Amino acid sequence: MTLLLDRVTFSYHRWIRPVLNRFTYEVPGEGLTILLGPNGAGKSTTMALLAGTVEPRSGKVLFSGSGLVSTSREYRRHVAWLPQRVPTSRQLSAREYVAYVAWLKGENRSAAWERAGTALDQVGLAEQTGRKTAKLSGGQLRRVGIACALAHDARVILLDEPTAGLDPHQRTVFREVLREVAAKTPVLMSTHDIADLADEADTVTLMDSGRVLHHGGTQSFLDHAHDDAVPARRAESAYSVLMRLDGSR
């Protein structure tokens, strides 16, 4: 089962042009999918629709092959959503926060508490379980967000620009965690950082102006790069070619 936007039309206000117009997109059912695109392409809107935090004007957002639509509680139980800004709390420790989210998603209190401890361990935060979330670094907080997804057995994980603003070390740690998580649960992650593609992405979706310009395996994306692009620049080159930024077409 995977998430599907089925001919979705969405606009933030009735009187302005839709951001997405009869847009169909299926989140791959396994591995890590990177969602790329320039500012305003519609990535966050796509994510918010998939997360069920906004509703389409027409069309459906659902688990394909099931009747589970994004407006249902059951749907949201199965989807983990990490927005650009992970909420923090002065009152709650990392473990309390993860347990609280797991409880909101339907785990009972004791299971939520147990699973929060295990999930924080999985994302490398075993030492930080008692720290208030407001005291955690940006990278640690994003790993707390992943722990929330693990603690309630999400079927799909949606991450909106999780590597933005992280220092190189935090990025590396985050990517390692992500690689492990994506081996078991499909992850859709939006990013502006082309380096996020390097070795860990299975699929790349490139969108612009509410349309998908490319969707396929990472290698097929990189194949668009100019022949003379050095390996470290192949992703940037492919992006420029597909976005027609290089004047080649």
Ligand X SMILES: Nc1ncnc2c1ncn2[C@@H]1O[C@H](COP(=O)(O)OP(=O)(O)OP(=O)(O)O)[C@@H](O)[C@H]1O
Nearer to ligand X, 84 or 220 (CB): 84
**Cα gap 221→211, rounded to integer Å:** 16
Q: Are 185 and 131 in contact (CB under 8 A)?
A: no
Nearer to ligand X, 42 or 139 (CB): 42
Q: Are 1 and 30 in contact (CB under 8 A)?
A: no
Nearer to ligand X, 37 or 162 (CB): 37
What is the closest distance, in whole angstroms, from the C-beta atom of residue 96 to ligand X in the complex?
Answer: 30
What is the closest distance, in whole angstroms, from the C-beta atom of residue 71 to ligand X in the complex?
Answer: 19
**Cα gap 109→59, rounded to integer Å:** 36
The one-letter code for the residue type at 47 is M
CA dihedral of residues 220, 225, 230, 232 (deg, nearest 10): -60
The alpha carbon of 186 is separated from its chain's Cα centroid by a whole number of angstroms, namely 10
Nearer to ligand X, 12 or 216 (CB): 12
**Residue 66 β-bridge partners:** none
**Cα gap 200→214, rounded to integer Å:** 18
Which is nearest to 148 in space by CA: 83, 231, 213?
83
What is the closest distance, in whole angstroms, from the C-beta atom of residue 14 to ligand X in the complex?
Answer: 12
For the segment 88-107, give every residue that binds ligand X (CB under 6 A). Answer: none
3-class secondary structure, 96: helix
Residues touching ligand X, count (CB under 6 A): 10
Nearer to ligand X, 48 or 111 (CB): 48
Nearer to ligand X, 152 or 214 (CB): 214
Nearer to ligand X, 70 or 93 (CB): 70
- Letters for 115-134 (x = contact with ligand X by CB under 6 A, - = none) are --------------------
What is the closest distance, in whole angstroms, from the C-beta atom of residue 111 to ligand X in the complex?
Answer: 35
- Letters for 155-174 (x = contact with ligand X by CB under 6 A, - = none) are --------------------
Q: Are 10 and 20 in contact (CB under 8 A)?
A: yes
The DSSP result for 168-216, as a single string, is HHHHHHHHHHHHHHHTTS-EEEE-S-GGGGTTT-SEEEEEETTEEEEEE
What is the closest distance, in whole angstroms, from the C-beta atom of residue 231 to ligand X in the complex?
Answer: 26
What is the closest distance, in whole angstroms, from the C-beta atom of residue 161 to ligand X in the complex?
Answer: 7
For the segment 14-73, give every residue that binds ligand X (CB under 6 A). Answer: 19, 37, 39-45
What is the closest distance, in whole angstroms, from the C-beta atom of residue 191 to ligand X in the complex?
Answer: 9
The residue ranges that bind ligand X (CB under 6 A) are 12, 19, 37, 39-45
